[in-house]
Chains A and B, each alone.
Chain A
Amino acid sequence: MIEKTRYIPDGKKERKNQPVIHYLEAEYLYFPTTDLRCPAGESCVVDGQYVKVGELIGTRQGGFFEQPIHSTVSGYIVGSEKKVHSSGQTVDCVIVQNDKKYVLYENCVSRTEEEIDALTKEDYIKIIKDSGLSGLGGSGFPTYIKLETKHPIHTVVGNGVECEPHLISDYKLILERANRIVEGLTYAMRATGAKKGIIAVKKKYPELYEVLENARQSFTHFDIEIKRVGNHYPAGWELDTIKSATGIKVPQGKLPAEYGVTVFNVATLYGFYRAVKRRMPITERFFSISGDGIKSPKNFQVRIGTPVRDLIALAGGYTETDKNKVLICGGPMMGNALQSDDIVVTKTATSLIILDEEVIPTEPCIHCASCVYSCPVDLQPVQIMNAYKERDKDAINALGVNKCIECGLCSFTCPSKIHLTETMRQAKRFIKK
């Protein structure tokens, strides 16, 4: 239809009433030593060594940063194996055999209020770096790099919008850990020197607003505000969240820090709490398995490193149909399609969606311009598609394809079912050549 599409059906209603299964029974846990951002990595443990919850077992190295890897269970190291990362790459993993005792590492003792009050900005950066915290909303960008910015920060925004349909992990996290998220926000404010903290949640979930508002009451000496933002998609996109939460318009290509704002996912704020207060890395996360290709969709609370095959078995396994399955790690709008279910839960994995493959026939473009009207970054997908068909580099560049955030709205809204988002990716790759 010739209209701007902003609202997409979100399957959260069915998801959020389901109970969360706390799964601690995994026999072996796998910890990738590399990932998309960190192409190199090594483990600092030997086979047969006993490790405890929160103990350092290796380091991932990126271009200009490094990230420690922590064990999330106690047990013995039993070697390494190749597994599929949630981004689709095959990566080396350190395997820990779980002794199911969950013994805490000795260093993981809580900090007292006095100790926390005495922390300086450098201390915070070191703590966050050592805890291996990264953007848990899905970006996986190391959090300490964000803290190291030279720009003065006046506002910290906590992003609890989670605009992708079907995802439930931030929702559940806010409901269960609202207090700790707000406390994490106060640490993030101290670490950045920000005066104001805002947590953004969707308007249509008043329950999230209430729990956060209640949690806020215990931190009245900080200027914290819980903001209800729009229900549209992509409201959880960093720049969109900043705009709706603070009113500051950050142009694309600029860092929010240049405008004095920094954004952390609520799960990252929870990570702040654990790192600063408890000296612990993130060990658990909410993970959901859903879709029509699985027998009984379920929500899980699992240790990071748990193999997803265990969870699929718990969810009753695949439905037996002749159709091919589409495995999506992440949301149905922006997630990655995997070629194997041999994956493990990582910090940035939020959900696995299993769909029966349905081939959607494509029809000719009728220039209805729904994609142009719907694009959140004011691109003209149909024109880029035509320019790409002509292999016209100048036109693709001039139409600004690099601004595309691959949110998927153009494909979603197209009445001819043309896969525009994929064309945008191809066009991006083409002009890079």
Chain B
Amino acid sequence: MNYAKQTSPYIRKETSVKRMMFDVLIALLPLVVFAVYRFGMDALVRIILSAVIFVGVDVVAALLKVKVHPSVKDKKERFKLRWKTLTINHVSAPLVSSVIFAMIIPSTLPIYVLIVGALFGSIIAKAFFGGLGSNIFNPAAVARVVIGLSFVTAFNYVGIDVTSSATPLAAVNDSLASIPAMLESYSLKDLFLGNIPGSMGEISSILIILGGLYMFIRKAADFRVTVSMILSFTVIMFVATLTVKPIVDNGQIIETVLYQVLSGGLLFGAVFMVTDPVTSPVTKPGRWIYGLVVGAIVAAIRLFGALPEGVVFAILLGNIFVPLIDYYKWSKNKYSWKFILGYVVSLSVVSLIVLLALGGIK
């Protein structure tokens, strides 16, 4: 019997990365089931393919990363030593990325486009940065943005109404003013339940909210980013809506804002993508600021940009700000008056800019 060298503390809490990852997967499960129910085999094939690619790349990258001692010459032995270093995290973490990626693409996306996106996301956005915990961009968002920019024509959405070829949001890209007209074909109830065309996992708001609640209760994700993102987006959209006279006159402000919140993957991004801890800041105020940044960028893209779905872009742009928010000279884990004031002022300034840019209240 020997005495082991250890340092305090000697006890650890019963938590693990594995449990957090599986919690996210459980939260995503209703969406996956709904996607398969709505889009059938198309969805199933794409989800499985995406999972195989993400997990496969992660495992291969992990195997290559291991340095085997040069004294071991036998190839089989070398492989065995590498194989031993694999953990459940090399399956669960890429599985989360793959399911999220599958949820933000349409069910009709050609298979080769999906393969390109998944490979790009898993190799360039994750493996090259060093695997789990080291990536600075959300792999699923990178994958979606790359194919979104490279294969614009590949994106066709199917819905209940087969004639429609665009998501509800794409149809209102030009003007907020057309939302009331859109509301006639897709009611808020449809948006809630998922009776709209769109990406596989983004359409059913109610299931996203349920999944989110599960994650927040299980503490597998931080609610602060989600709340902050939806809050800032809602405020800016509300201000923007005030500039459109017909909507204000008809008293459809709340419906319009709700429509914006429930459509176009905003909720999915807010619940499952920005909450990714790896690409979030590490302090509580930092997470509020990060949510504000992402929410404001989504709103700006929707109001001024040419892209119909700005959420993934906004998340990638927000990721760029994370090291800045976390910079050691100012990051603090305490709420201060300075922070609260800064948050409110920033949100007001952005809203004011939006208001002025859209031509003020008519």
**Judging by beta carbons under 8 Å apart, are A369 and B283 in contact?**
yes
What residues of B have a CB within 8 angstroms of the CB of A364 in the complex? 89, 131-134
Q: Is the CB of A411 within 8 A of B12?
A: yes
Which residues of chain B are near A77, meaning CB under 8 Å?
none
One digit per residue, 1 when the CB lies within 8 angstroms of any chain B CB and 0 when it does not, for chain A 354-368 equals 010100110111111
Which residues of chain B from 256 to 308 have any CB-CB distance to chain A below 8 Å in the complex? 277-280, 282-284, 287
Interface residues of A in 299-333 (CB under 8 A from B): 318, 324-328, 330, 332-333
Q: Given A368-B20, A383-B328, A333–B11 Cβ distance below 8 Å?
A: yes
Within 8 Å of chain A (Cβ to Cβ): is B5?
yes
Q: What's the least CB distance linking B92 to chain A, in Å?
A: 11
Q: Which residues of A contact B1 (CB under 8 A)?
A: 318, 324-325
Interface flags for B1-16 (1: CB within 8 Å of A; 0: not) read 1111111111111011
Taking the nearest CB of chain A, how far is it from the CB of B127, in angstroms?
Answer: 13
Give the CA-CA distance A2 to B21 in the complex, in Å. 12
Q: How far is the CB of A295 from chain B (nearest CB, A)?
A: 14
Complex Cα distance, B6 from A338, in Å, reads: 9
B87 at the interface (CB under 8 A from A): yes
**A366 / chain B contacts, CB cutoff of 8 Å:** 17, 20, 132-133, 277-278
A395 at the interface (CB under 8 A from B): yes
Q: Is the CB of A399 within 8 A of B15?
A: no
A335 and B8 form a contact (CB under 8 A):
yes
State whether the Cβ of B58 lies closer than 8 Å to any Cβ in chain A: no
B103 interface contact, C-beta 8 A: no
A402 within 8 A of B: no
B222 interfacial contact with A, CB 8 Å: yes
What total of chain B residues lie within 8 Å of the partner, measured CB to CB? 44
With contacts A2-B277, A366-B278, A367-B282 taken as known, whether A408 is within 8 angstroms of B9 at the C-beta atoms is: yes
B3 touches A369 (CB 8 A): no
> Nearest Cβ distance between residue A420 and chain B, in whole angstroms?
10
Describe A's contact surface by its main secondary structure: loop
Using Cβ atoms and an 8 Å threshold, which residues of chain B touch A416? 16-17, 133
A residues within 8 A CB of B17?
363, 366, 415-416
Q: Give Cα distance in the complex from A333 to B279, angstroms.
A: 31
CA distance A330 to B3 in the complex (A): 16
Q: Are B3 and A412 in contact (CB under 8 A)?
A: no
On chain B, the residues within 8 Å of A334 by CB distance are 8-9
Convert A394-433 into 0s and 1s, putting 1 for each residue whose CB lies closer than 8 angstroms to a CB of B: 0100110000001011011111110101100100000000
Whether the Cβ atoms of B9 and A2 lie closer than 8 Å is: no
Chain B residue nearest in CB terms to A420: B9
Q: Is the CB of B4 within 8 A of A326?
A: yes
Cα-based distance from A375 to B282 in the complex (angstroms) = 13
CB of B67 within 8 A of chain A? no
The one of A327, A395, A408, A413 that contacts B8, using a Cβ cutoff of 8 Å: A408
Point out the residue from B8, B13, B133, B284 that lies within 8 Å of A5, measured CB to CB.
Answer: B13
Q: Give bound CA distance, A366 to B13, whole Å.
A: 16
| Chain B residues whose C-beta falls within 8 Å of the C-beta of A399 in the assembled complex | 328
B194 smallest CB distance to A (angstroms): 28
Residue pair A367, B277 in contact (C-beta under 8 Å):
yes
Specify which of B9, B13, B326 lies most central, judged by the most chain A CB atoms within 10 Å of its CB: B9
Q: Which of chain B's residues has its CB closest to A394's CB?
A: B328
Output the least CB separation between A162 and chain B (Å): 16
Q: Are A378 and B5 in contact (CB under 8 A)?
A: no
- B219 touches A (CB below 8 Å): yes
Q: Does the CB pair A411–B333 fall under 8 Å?
A: no
Q: Decide yes or no whether A337 CB sits under 8 A from chain B.
A: yes
B329 within 8 A of A: yes
- Report the nearest B residue to A338, measured CB to CB: B3
Q: Does B69 contact A (CB under 8 A)?
A: no
**Is A348 part of the binding interface, using a Cβ–Cβ cutoff of 8 Å?**
no
Q: Bound complex: CA of A372 vs CA of B282, how far in Å? A: 7
Q: A325-B2, A332-B10 are in contact. Are A375 and B333 (CB under 8 A)?
A: yes
**In whole angstroms, what is the CA distance A325 to B4 when docked?**
6
Residue of B nearest to A379 (CB): B333
Taking the closest CB of chain B, its distance from the CB of A163, in whole angstroms, is 13
Q: How far is the CA of A355 from the CA of B8 in the complex (A)?
A: 13
Docked complex Cα distance between A268 and B123 (Å): 62
User: What are 22 A-B pairs with beta-carbon distances under 8 A?
Assistant: A2-B277, A8-B11, A318-B1, A326-B4, A328-B8, A337-B7, A337-B10, A364-B132, A366-B132, A369-B282, A369-B287, A378-B333, A380-B282, A382-B282, A406-B8, A408-B8, A411-B12, A412-B13, A413-B15, A415-B15, A415-B20, A416-B16
Q: Which residues of A are in contact with B by a Cβ distance under 8 Å?
A: 1-3, 5, 8, 165, 318, 324-328, 330, 332-341, 353, 355, 357, 360-361, 363-370, 372-373, 375, 378, 380, 382-383, 387, 395, 398-399, 406, 408-409, 411-417, 419, 421-422, 425
Q: What are the nearest 7 A-B pairs in CB distance?
A: A408-B9, A364-B133, A1-B219, A357-B4, A324-B4, A369-B282, A368-B277
Since A353-B10, A367-B133 are in contact, a sample of 11 more A-B pairs with Cβ atoms closer than 8 Å, ordered by chain A residue number, is: A324-B3, A334-B8, A335-B8, A337-B3, A337-B4, A340-B3, A355-B10, A365-B133, A372-B282, A380-B333, A416-B17
